[in-house]
A = this chain, B = another copy of it.
Amino acid sequence: MVRISILGTGNVAWHLVSAFSAAEDVEIVQLVGRNPSALKNLYVRLSTTNSPPKVSDFSYIAESDVYILAVSDDAIAEVSGFIGDRKGLVVHTSGSVSMDVLSQHPRHGVLYPLQSFSKDRKVDTESVPFCLEAGTDADMHVLKNLASNLSQKIYGVDSDQRRVLHLAAVFVNNFTNHLYHIGQHLCQNEGLPFDLLQPLIQETAYKIEHLSPIDSQTGPARRGDAKTINIHLEQLQNSDYKEVYSVLSESILNLYREKNPS
């Protein structure tokens, strides 16, 4: 039995508490959050009668095997300070913050779930890759053991790699979502339902589970079809969308020009 405390009241905290609550070999000793009403909301959202003890006063933080800091990047250093010299492994859950921010704790590490967590949308953690880092092999073992309660996709990822991974996630998640928004906006302006694009969006994502993106690339830029590119640029009224179209087309053109020099 691993005894853990979760500090934080946001989406990552909620998903971790939900998932660890269902794990047989894990006991959640405490939920810790500065803001009592956020803590209460976390409890309500858990929709379970067996919610772990909650504390808002950091001086009441209990002893635990692992402290999981599921707080915003900027708050990690400060919140870790409240753990003080309590024993136990202290980890954060951030993609972009180095493990070193926790080096004041003799035992420290990172447990980064690589997924986009939204409020009120439950994610099956079994499919989530957990990227782990620890100061010692022994603590890496502790983290692997802990994470294996939630997922079979466990990776050792150091701080430099994690930073790149987080950057890659911005491209495939944040930027992709913005392209979806542009698609929706263009449709709406023509009185067309966004539903029309949904099957294409799903197929585009699904396809690269089997085919590398570089091999599944299609479209005017892939074909080097300057005529269609220019027509599209003329069609676009929004100057931001025009820029996005232009820069992405240029990047695709350059990629395949390198691959197929004429």
Question: Which A residues form the contact surface with B (CB < 8 A)?
Answer: 96, 114-116, 118, 121, 123, 127-129, 131, 153, 155, 157, 160-161, 163-165, 167-184, 186-187, 189-192, 194-214, 216-222, 228, 231-232, 235-236, 240-241, 243-245, 247-248, 250-252, 254-255
User: Which residues of chain B come closer than 8 Å to A161, judged between CB atoms?
Assistant: 190-192
- Give the contacting residue for A190; candidates B164, B172, B192, B228; CB below 8 A: B164
Cβ-closest chain B residue relative to A205: B205
CB of A87, distance to nearest CB on chain B (Å):
32
Alpha-carbon distance A243/B241, docked complex (angstroms) = 14
CB of A71, distance to nearest CB on chain B (Å):
15
- Check B173–A218 contact: CB distance below 8 A: yes
- CB pairs A–B below 8 angstroms (22 shown): A116-B204, A163-B235, A165-B187, A168-B184, A172-B179, A172-B180, A172-B201, A174-B217, A174-B218, A175-B219, A176-B176, A177-B216, A177-B218, A178-B213, A179-B179, A181-B255, A201-B205, A201-B208, A202-B205, A240-B251, A243-B251, A244-B247
CB of A242, distance to nearest CB on chain B (Å):
10
Alpha-carbon distance A211/B192, docked complex (angstroms) = 17
- Check A252–B178 contact: CB distance below 8 A: yes
User: Which residues of chain B come closer than 8 Å to A165, judged between CB atoms?
Assistant: 187, 190, 192, 196-197
Of the listed residues A172, A212, A219, A231, the one surrounded by the most CB atoms of chain B closer than 10 A to its CB is A172
CB of A106, distance to nearest CB on chain B (Å):
28
User: Which residues of chain B come closer than 8 Å to A131, judged between CB atoms?
Assistant: 196
Beyond A131-B196, A243-B247, A243-B250, 17 additional contacts (C-beta under 8 Å) are A114-B196, A115-B200, A155-B196, A161-B190, A163-B235, A165-B197, A168-B197, A169-B197, A169-B200, A172-B182, A175-B245, A176-B179, A177-B216, A178-B217, A178-B248, A198-B209, A201-B205
Alpha-carbon distance A183/B201, docked complex (angstroms) = 17
